[in-house]
Amino acid sequence: MTTTPHTPVRPAEEIAVGRAGHRGVLFAMCLALVLVVASVSALNLAMPTLAVDLSASNASLTWIADAYTVALAALVLPLGAIGDRLGRRHVLVAGTLVFGGAALAASLADTTGHLIVWRVVMGIGAAMIMPGTLSTITAAFPAHQRAKGVAVWSGFAAAGAIIGMLAAGALLEQFSWRSIFVASAVTALAAGAVALALAPNTKDPHPHRPDVIGAICTATAIGCLVFAIIEGNEQGWSEPPVIAALVVTALGFAAYAFFGLRNDQPLLDPHLFGVRGFRAGAVTVLVQFMAVFGFFFVGLQYLQLILDYSPLKAAVALVPVAVVVLPTSRITPRLVTRIGMKAVMVTGLTLLGGGLFAIFRIHADSGYLPFLGGLVLCGLGIGLTGAVGTAAITGSLGRGQQGVASAMNDTTREVGSAIGIALMGSVYGNHYRNALPPTIDRLPPQAAQSVRDSAAAGLQVAHQAGPQGPALTQAVKDAFMSGLSASLVVVTVIVLAAALGCLLRAPRQAPNSD
């Protein structure tokens, strides 16, 4: 799609928003947003149970978590463009139906393969929902209120993960992991109904022809990249399927750039990455979500397996992140006005990296308080980076192209989430297996394989191992901490490298689309 900032469009002040006004629009879009984001994180609380109930290995657990996110990341940009053409509310509501039906089917899954497939379909529905949330806000809100609307949206985009985990934790106290999917289906129907009642059906007034080649190239590249990360750590980086996936990833992104530069109406103009504000915003959002959702995937297992928290208690233990993120997101626009976009970006990424490093330093017997200190630093960083990164992306494009801006913002978030889960999950799994002592081989073959598959299964074996149980429990916990520490080191280095990049290359002030 063309990205000229001068495309004529009806002013946001003239868009009918109904009796509920802009607050009603904001409520409807944030509810749909929370549905999508919560489904990325909610299932993480059930990972120990899934490992036992479905005999899932660490790699299978990573795919169960990431299948949804990969589909969402791969399709959010082309489906956002379809929403620009057909009407964002129409596509959003249709997405809630796809999402809800797939969630119900997932609740009936009895193998890891079936669960992964239905998670993919849920991701397709989520990709229909998510682009319309931000683009409806930016199109319907007048210029003087848009920054506040975007800041609230950014806060719920981050806090939605915690909301999803709290709901999942409460359900798991009384019901099985299947209840999470049933609740997701009910919420999807409610979100669709609220959107119909409160949100306007905004669209691009001058839609352009679909960029099929661009959509295929980006979806293929994103899917193959995540496959390579997960299977590279599982099978080995020299294995032919992994090498092939890396080659296809490179070719996919290269083809996207080649055809996009020669297309006068690309899905996303590659020239945009030459705009410093747009590029800095995209990198900031991608790295933030990579760190956050990768950490949630392994961090929740720390709370449940090492600190022996129940699912609900583990979710509550992460609430301080949301408590810090929401108010920080609200004040971020004022901070950007006062000290500049670059300073806020660099500060946010540095705080996020510092929080992850603080958590890296904990041990199996450290308890919750050191973990909490790292969470607070992470929350401050998330609140700053999410709001300023989103504002940089949306501010780089004109109002008539806010569907593209929203879809690009969503794509960076979901690509970051998918890469983060794949990267931290696979690094953790690889180091966990390698850190197990040779004495594991003395166990019966099936028990030894269960220990290697996952820490949750390993602890279950230890509980049934009689006199060998305490030593095996300690070995599994030590191996888990080795995997957790290794994954945190990797992501901390990436976050701090992004902070340095923003310091050197990001513009001082935020772009303005008006």
State yes or no: pLDDT of 412 exceeds 90.
Answer: no
Distance CA 232, CA 229 (A): 5
Distance of CA 197 to the CA centre of its chain: 28
User: What tokens were used for 255?
Assistant: 């083809």
Per-residue pLDDT tens digits for 22-76:
788 899 999 999 999 899 888 888 988 898 888 888 888 889 988 998 898 888 8
Lowest mean per-residue pLDDT among 141-150, 297-306, 329-338: 141-150
Mean pLDDT of 261-277: 81
State yes or no: pLDDT of 10 exceeds 90.
Answer: no
pLDDT at 13: 42
Per-residue pLDDT tens digits for 96-130:
999 999 999 999 999 999 999 999 999 999 999 98
Mean pLDDT of 159-174: 88
Distance CA 343, CA 509 (A): 9
Lowest mean per-residue pLDDT among 159-163, 175-179, 509-513: 509-513
User: What tokens were used for 148?
Assistant: 């506040």
Burial 146-178 (b: 16+ CB within 10 A, else e): bbebbbbbbbbbbbbbbbbbbbbbbbbeeeebb
CB 34 within 8 A of CB 230: no
**pTM, to two decimals:** 0.82
pLDDT at 150: 79
CA nearest to 270, candidates 132, 78, 408, 416: 408
Mean pLDDT of 350-360: 95
pLDDT at 263: 85
Q: What mean pLDDT value characterizes the chain? A: 86
Instruction: Give, to the nearest 10 degrees, the angle between helix 369-395 and helix 143-174.
Output: 140
Per-residue pLDDT tens digits for 361-410:
998 888 899 999 999 999 999 989 988 888 888 777 766 666 567 667 77
pLDDT at 131: 84
Q: How many residues does the chain have?
A: 514
Contacts of 137 by beta carbon, 8 Å cutoff, 6+ apart: 25, 26, 29, 146, 149, 150, 153
Distance CA 44, CA 311 (A): 10
Instruction: Give, to the nearest 10 degrees, the angle between helix 58-86 and helix 112-140.
Output: 40
CA distances for 332 relative to 149, 186, 450, angstroms: 12, 34, 47
CA nearest to 479, candidates 436, 442, 448: 436
User: What tokens were used for 234?
Assistant: 């599982």
pLDDT grade, residue 143 (50/70/90)? Answer: confident
Neighbouring CB atoms inside 10 A of 371's CB total 20
CB 506 within 8 A of CB 341: yes
Mark residue 486 as left, alpha or beta (left: phi above 0; alpha: psi -120 to 50; beta: remaining). alpha
Mean pLDDT of 441-453: 88
State yes or no: pLDDT of 156 exceeds 50.
Answer: yes
Place of tokens 């690309």: 266
Distance CA 396, CA 281 (A): 9
CB 48 within 8 A of CB 301: yes
Per-residue pLDDT tens digits for 480-499:
999 999 999 999 999 999 99
Distance CA 446, CA 456 (A): 15
Amino acid at 354: G
Amino acid at 412: T
pLDDT grade, residue 5 (50/70/90)? Answer: very low
State yes or no: pLDDT of 8 exceeds 50.
Answer: no
Per-residue pLDDT tens digits for 235-265:
778 889 999 999 999 999 999 999 988 888 7
pLDDT at 151: 79
Distance CA 301, CA 45 (A): 7
Burial 55-75 (b: 16+ CB within 10 A, else e): ebbbbbbbbbbbbbbbbbbbb
SS3 assignment, position 56: coil
